Amino acid sequence: MRKQLAGIRKAFGIVWDADKTYPFLLLTRALSASIAPLYASVCVSRLVSKLAGEERRTDSVIFTLFLLLAGIFLFRALEAVLEWQCSYRYMRMQDVFIAKNSRKAMNMEYPATESSEVADLYGNVWMANMSPGVILEQAFFVFGGAVQVLGCVGIILHLGYVLLGIVAVFIALCCFLDYRMGARRMKYELEAVPLNRAISYTRNCMGDVSCAKDIRLYYPESFFLKRLAAYQKQKMEKERSREHYCGHLLSLQAALQLLQTFVLYTVLIHRFLQGGIEIGYFSLTVSSIGIFMGAVKRISAAWNQIIKNVVFLEYLECFRSLPERFEIGNGRKEAMTHSGEMLSIEFRDVWFRYPGAEKYSLEAVNVTLNKGEVMTIVGENGSGKTTFVKLLLGLYRPTKGEILLNGVNIDRYTDEEYRAVFAPVFQDYRLFAYTIRENLVFDGAYHKAEAEALLAELDLDKTVNSLPDGVEQYVGKGYEKSGVDFSGGEKQKIAIARALLKDSVCVVLDEPSAALDPIAEMKLYWQINKLAKEKACVFITHRLAGVRLSNRILYFENGRIAEQGSCQTLLEKAGKFYEFYQLQAQLYLSEESTAMK
């Protein structure tokens, strides 16, 4: 009970911040819905008494009938207005909460995005998106039901405590059964979150156009159908167990309600036949018992909804309390800003271990990236390259050691300030189903001359100019039917153009030539070096066509920098990098000379 009351207070605070009118509308609706049946029952009982009495005054009967009909009309009109207002504000508030949760998802610290626990939490959050509104709505249902119960108790008590006691016993038993059903359904919903995620992922793969070629060439149709059927079978088994349990309780509840009706009507009819109550009060008592039973039933159902949604509210609070990437805290000093110029970024004895891992992914990394320097990161899979880049970009913080920007620990800068230094192109870069212009600058200023010159340097100008809407053409068909599907190389060049147009001082490219042939690859490296001008460049690659253009190469092995230096120095050393280079040398030597002509 204490937990639910605390949840109601929290929900009220959240809803109040979103819409201060909504709680008053819910209160008015609850009072109106609770008073209307009592009012109608009293009017009907008085009308029955007047019709059954010896003096049947027409004017009195008409007046009572008028009061009944006028009251019903007014309550129905008020109910319609309140229902419309509540529904409208509920949907508007839902939009506010969706926007808030989406903003939180974009701003939470990057490590959380790679956590399976946060993925499950995020799934629960969307289920709990309107938990505050639901909790408050159900709380007012409880309040309205309590008003009805008190009104009915006052009426039933005129016939003694025995009748009230009979009603209370049966209601208590039914409420207990409701609670047990609610608890079982809540348990099922929580257990179903991972299964729902798996089902959703499989369905998305089956309908995702980006998976179409792989599905048709590698996987038979039955593979995904079998996976989907297996997940759905697990879900159905859980649902069957839940409904089997709840079905037994519902049958028991129906039997109790039938027995309750028989006992109550037997007592009432016996009292009426003995002359203990008049026909009008008999009618009022019968309707009051029905209202009483319905009110308690609704209170029980509403309270079960509160119990369920308070659990989801905890998930919502947990999600919204995740650290955000722009926050300054956790021991950080007051934020400071830099001039926008990067003189150097230094890794000073940096060690890193992923959360929950025992082994360090990076060990004793000491390296400095200077202004205007071109650095290439190479190494085998799992050598630490990706982890190094995540630390460089500020997506992770070192477990030990420190990273310095212009000699100052990066924890002294806000994440927003530090990450403004970089313009990355990830290996799994993403173009969005918006216009080319929006993919290049998002909502930033679009400088046409600069953008056109850059597109021309990347050999994209002819492609873009040939489109009906130019840079206003949509990318892909996920958003607009008129969208254009670009080749892999063209998409990658658009992503590179986006990085070069960003007003940053360090360009980071992860496998920038993965979608290109060797000749186009070598040409791209020359283009990037030319366009980057005085910006620092960091390349992460398995393909070594452009390493000769680098000032320095870092060769990673087992989480450490095994070798570093210029390409010529490392080749003369004939160490690890030399062996790595020789594996690809014969492939590129002829194409290098061709690309440079």
Q: Find how far residue 384's CA is from the centre of its chain.
A: 30
Q: What is the DSSP string of 531-570?
A: HHTTSEEEEE-S--TTGGG-SEEEEEETTEEEEEE-HHHH
Beta bridge partners of 268: none
pLDDT at 556: 92
Name every residue whose Cβ is closer than 8 Å to that of residue 165 and which is 6 or more positions away in sequence. Answer: none
DSSP 436-462: HHHHHHTTS---HHHHHHHHHHTT-HH
What CATH number labels 429-503?
A: 3.40.50.300
Strand order in the sheet with 344-352: 362-370, 344-352, 400-405, 408-409
pLDDT at 332: 46
Buried b (16+ CB within 10 A) or exposed e, 479-494: eeeebbebeebbbbbb
Q: Residue 122: what pLDDT?
A: 75
Residue owning tokens 């030319």:
530
Within 10 Å of residue 178's Cβ, how many Cβ atoms?
A: 20
Who's near 214: CB < 8 A, 6+ residues apart? none
Residue where the block lists tokens 């016939």: 159
Write down how long the chain is: 597
Give the β-pairing of 344-352 and 400-405: antiparallel
Q: What pLDDT is recorded for position 192?
A: 78
Asked whether residue 592 carries a pLDDT value surpassing 60, the answer given is no
Condensed to tens digits (0 to 9), the pLDDT of residues 509-527 reads 887 766 566 666 677 777 7
Q: Within its chain, how far is the Cα of 276 from the centroid?
A: 62
For residues 212, 213, 219, 222, the Cα torsion angle rounded to the nearest 10 degrees is 30
pLDDT surpassing 60 at residue 245: yes
* pLDDT for res 561: 92
Do 108 and 325 contact (CB within 8 A), yes or no? Answer: yes
Cα first-last separation, the chain: 79
Sheet bearing 374-379, strands edge to edge: 422-425, 506-510, 536-540, 374-379, 552-557, 560-565
pLDDT above 90: residue 271: no
Say what the pTM is: 0.67
Q: 132 vs 294, 306, 310, 321, CA distance in Å? A: 25, 10, 8, 16
CA–CA dist 210, 216 (Å, integer): 11
Averaged pLDDT score across all residues of the chain: 80
H or E segment and range at residue 172: helix 161-191
Res 523: pLDDT: 74
For CA atoms 87, 89, 91, 93, the dihedral sign is negative
Q: What is the mean pLDDT of residues 375-398?
A: 89
Whether the predicted pLDDT of 555 surpasses 70: yes
* Structure tokens that stand for 81 in this block: 């207005």
Percentage, residues of the chain above pLDDT 90: 9
* pLDDT tens for each residue of 205-241: 776 666 666 666 566 667 778 878 888 888 888 888 8
pLDDT in tens, 281-323: 777 777 877 787 778 778 878 888 888 788 778 878 888 887 7
> Which tens digit of pLDDT belongs to each residue from 54-88?
566 777 778 888 888 888 899 889 888 988 888 88
Residue 562 pLDDT grade (very low, low, confident, very high; cuts 50, 70, 90): very high
**What is the chain's alpha carbon radius of gyration, rounded to the nearest angstrom?**
35
Whether 569 has a pLDDT exceeding 70, the answer reads yes
Q: Which of 169-178, 352-361, 372-381 has the lowest mean pLDDT?
A: 169-178
So what's the pLDDT on residue 221?
A: 65
Same topology between domain 2-188+239-320 and domain 429-503: no
pLDDT digits (tens, 9 = 90+) for 440-468: 988 888 888 888 888 888 888 888 889 88
Q: What is the mean pLDDT of residues 331-345?
A: 58
Instruction: Decide if pLDDT at 334 tops 50.
Output: no
Q: Which residue has the higher pLDDT, 6 or 159?
A: 6
Say if CB 40 and CB 68 are below 8 A apart: yes
Of all residues in the chain, what percent carry a pLDDT higher than 70?
87
> Which residue ranges make up each domain of the chain?
2-188+239-320, 342-421+508-597, 429-503
Place of tokens 């189903």: 433
With cut-offs at 50, 70 and 90, classify the pLDDT of residue 112.
confident
**Residue located via tokens 């919204």:** 320
Contact 553, 567 (CB under 8 A): yes
CATH number for the domain formed by residue range(s) 2-188+239-320: 1.20.1560.10
CA dist 218 → 101, 428, 433, 572 (Å): 37, 21, 26, 44
Confidence band of 505 (pLDDT split at 50, 70, 90): confident
How many whole angstroms separate alpha carbon 460 and alpha carbon 358? 47
Q: How far is CA 104 from the centre of its chain?
A: 9
Helix, strand, coil % (nearest 5) of the chain? 65, 10, 25
Say whether pLDDT at 189 is over 60. yes
Q: What is the second-level CATH architecture of the domain 342-421+508-597?
A: 3-Layer(aba) Sandwich (3.40)
pLDDT at 427: 80
Tell me the CA distances in angstroms from 286 to 131, 264, 269, 539, one per residue in order. 37, 9, 10, 82
> Are 83 and 29 in contact, with CB atoms under 8 Å apart?
yes
